[in-house]
């Protein structure tokens, strides 16, 4: 087992990884940028190494600096968290070439599955239905032809993407070129890779994903599905498990598809297969995330599994601590992503100093965050500042518990999305489980319309 692990990430996920490393008796080391010098992960780590200035391209995306930090501190392995270099095959290979274990799948596997276009081809080979789209990346020479083949509306998606970045919906040829340039630029900035591909855009489906973990012995475990349908601009806002739209029979079909794909790829580590689900129960493969997901805590809540621990065991060549097969959900869990954004100003990201922080507690309540009173939030990175996770015996109780916990949650000094979450869980369609990928956008549009009417009436 590893003695020291370098965490090449920041924020709440760095804190999350540190806690599991501590419980496993592994020394946590944190690589940080100059902008994060006062962050909570640095307080909790055994050692810290500055890897560059605030810009992600010069720090958290700087392979040479991160490898050097691991070598200087004597780290046995590197945990990439999510985002940044977590799905970068070149980084995984650089770790291997330096004799450092990358806590994630091999560079070869990331090339196969982490590249979204390549993953589609493998899904086809495995007999899993996929949405119509391009067979590989588009180029300046072929994008118009590929768009015509795919048909409108279509989605431009970053091959190295995640977190809703590098995604644009295009409804006609006239706007394609401009949207393609924007998506490519966003993908380059976020992931260091500007490659994109096209996928047919389905109106208002469910977004369902299957978590799996596979060890080097070939043992694969699949977990209950997560419903990530509530999104804004393709960025997930609320996730829950199990899904109100998935029957036990459908869950078994999704589980078999995820397991087959993991086995076909010879996967080692934790990953997630994402699907789109229509109202008739048909599903289509979207992509594989070859990393830990932001929403992994809901899976942990309904199965009692520490997914970071399983990641580490798999990377170390150890067998998983849970038996192979498909796990059933126990109760219902919901995660709310708390972002430093102002819902009143079209969710504009912001920064500032945390003046007061009160985190909710009680049965079935968990908060993952890197905030503390007096912490100054930097402006250079993703706006996610906390995740509120609730777990209860069923969905109705989980929603009521969430309402109570959100009411208790207090973060002052900055604008957050807490008021938005408090509004959305009171919605009758949300409470009845009638959600889809267009739900949040329609909900926001309804709020704006009502406010406009109120102003007109006054």
Active site positions, annotated: 291
The sign one gets for the Cα dihedral 164, 229, 295, 137 is negative
Q: What tokens appear for 90 in the block? A: 């070149």
- Tell me 40's DSSP state: H
Cβ atoms 337, 417 nearer than 8 A: yes
Q: Which residues contact 390 (CB under 8 A, 6 or more apart)?
A: 333, 334, 364, 365, 366, 398, 401, 402, 405
Q: What tokens appear for 222 in the block? A: 């699949």
Phi-psi region of 346 (alpha: psi -120 to 50; beta: other; left: phi over 0): left
Spatial separation of the C-alpha atoms in residues 296 and 12, rounded to whole Å: 13
Cβ atoms 51, 339 nearer than 8 A: no
Q: What tokens appear for 12 in the block? A: 């709440």
- Tell me 378's DSSP state: P
Spatial separation of the C-alpha atoms in residues 186 and 161, rounded to whole Å: 10
**What's the burial of 80, exposed, middle or buried (CB within 10 Å: 0-12/13-18/19+)?**
buried
The sign one gets for the Cα dihedral 170, 174, 176, 182 is negative
Among 252, 208, 212, residue whose Cα is nearest residue 227: 208
Instruction: Looking at 230-385, list the stretches that DSSP marks H as alpha helix, in order from N- to C-terminal side.
Output: 248-265, 296-303, 307-315
Instruction: Looking at 328-415, list the stretches that DSSP marks H as alpha helix, in order from N- to C-terminal side.
Output: 395-408
The structure tokens 């250079």 sit at 380
> For the chain, what's the residue count?
458
Among 258, 397, 220, 241, residue whose Cα is nearest residue 329: 241
3-class secondary structure, 107: helix
Instruction: Looking at 305-370, list the stretches that DSSP marks H as alpha helix, in order from N- to C-terminal side.
Output: 307-315
Say whether the peptide bond before residue 242 is cis (omega within 30 degrees of 0): yes
Which helix H or strand E contains 377, and what residues bound it? strand 376-377
Spatial separation of the C-alpha atoms in residues 208 and 67, rounded to whole Å: 35
């Amino acid at each position: 087992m590893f003695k020291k692990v370098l965490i090449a990430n920041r924020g709440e996920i760095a804190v999350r990884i540190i806690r599991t490393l501590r419980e496993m008796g592994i020394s946590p080391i944190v690589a940080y940028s100059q902008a994060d010098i006062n962050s909570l992960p640095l307080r909790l780590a055994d050692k810290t190494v500055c890897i560059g200035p605030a810009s992600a391209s010069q720090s958290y995306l700087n392979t040479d600096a991160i490898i050097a930090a691991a070598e200087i501190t004597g780290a046995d392995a590197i945990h990439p968290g999510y985002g940044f270099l977590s799905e970068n095959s070149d980084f995984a290979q650089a770790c291997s070439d330096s004799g450092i274990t990358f806590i994630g799948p091999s560079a070869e596997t990331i090339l196969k599955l982490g590249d979204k276009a390549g993953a589609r081809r493998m899904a086809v080979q495995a007999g899993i239905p996929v949405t119509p789209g391009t067979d590989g990346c588009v180029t300046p020479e072929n994008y118009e032809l590929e768009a015509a083949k795919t048909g409108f509306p279509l989605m431009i998606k970053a091959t190295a993407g995640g977190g809703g970045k590098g995604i644009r919906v295009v409804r006609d040829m006239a706007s394609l070129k401009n949207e393609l340039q924007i998506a490519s630029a966003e993908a380059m900035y976020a992931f260091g890779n500007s490659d994109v591909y096209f996928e047919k855009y389905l109106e208002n489906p469910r977004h369902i994903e299957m978590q799996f973990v596979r060890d080097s012995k070939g043992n694969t475990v699949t977990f209950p599905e997560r419903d990530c349908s509530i999104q804004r601009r393709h960025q997930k806002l609320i996730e829950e498990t199990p899904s109100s739209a998935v029957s036990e029979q459908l869950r078994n079909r999704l589980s078999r598809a995820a397991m087959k794909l993991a086995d076909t790829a010879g996967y080692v580590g934790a990953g997630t297969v994402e699907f789109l689900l229509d109202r008739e129960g048909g599903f289509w493969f979207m992509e594989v995330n070859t990393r830990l997901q932001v929403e992994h805590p809901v899976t942990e809540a309904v199965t009692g599994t520490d997914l970071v621990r399983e990641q580490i065991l798999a990377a170390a060549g150890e067998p998983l601590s849970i038996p192979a097969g498909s796990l059933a959900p126990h109760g219902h869990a919901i995660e709310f992503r708390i972002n430093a954004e102002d819902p009143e100003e079209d969710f504009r990201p912001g920064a500032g100093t945390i003046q007061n922080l009160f985190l909710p507690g009680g049965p079935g309540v968990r908060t993952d965050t890197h905030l503390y009173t007096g912490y100054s939030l930097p402006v250079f990175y993703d706006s996610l500042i906390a995740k509120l996770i609730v777990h209860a015996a069923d969905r109705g109780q989980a929603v009521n518990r969430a309402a109570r916990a959100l009411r208790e949650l207090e973060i002052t000094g900055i604008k957050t999305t807490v008021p938005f979450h408090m509004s959305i869980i009171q919605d009758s369609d949300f409470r009845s489980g009638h959600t889809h990928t267009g739900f949040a956008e329609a909900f926001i549009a309804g709020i704006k319309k009502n406010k406009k009417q109120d102003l007109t009436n006054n």
